[in-house]
Amino acid sequence: MATKKLWLFVLWGLVMASALGVVHTTHQSRVLTAQLEQAQRYRDELRYEQERLLLERGAWSAYSRIEQVAKEKLEMHAPGPSERVLVSKN
């Protein structure tokens, strides 16, 4: 009879350990899922930022923008016929 009680106690302990393992695993799964969602949101924000920066770079490097900056800030102009110099290959 004592061995049956001992086996029952051991089995009960194993069931409790298994239940605690399930609870721990479920909690870890939820934590990792939340971290994954947060990382995916951050990834999406970075993609949006990258697209915005690519558009901005395209706008800043457009020929009309470069020409405008050259004229206004650098006071450059297209050379006239008298300012052109021809250089031969030889």
Give the span between the Cα atoms of 77 and 67, in whole angstroms: 9
pLDDT tens-digit series, residues 19-44: 999 999 999 999 999 999 999 999 99
Q: What is the dihedral of CA 36, 39, 45, 48, to 10 degrees?
A: -70
Identity at 33, one-letter amino acid code: T
Domain residue spans of the chain: 19-72
**What average pLDDT does the chain have?**
92
| pLDDT score, position 26 | 98
Give the span between the Cα atoms of 54 and 66, in whole angstroms: 17
| pLDDT score, position 29 | 98
Give the span between the Cα atoms of 19 and 21, in whole angstroms: 5
Which stretch of 8-12, 59-63, 72-76 has the lowest confidence by average pLDDT? 59-63
Q: What mean pLDDT is predicted for residues 47-72?
A: 89
Question: Which residues contact residue 70 at a Cβ distance below 8 angstroms, ignoring those fewer than 6 apart?
Answer: 76
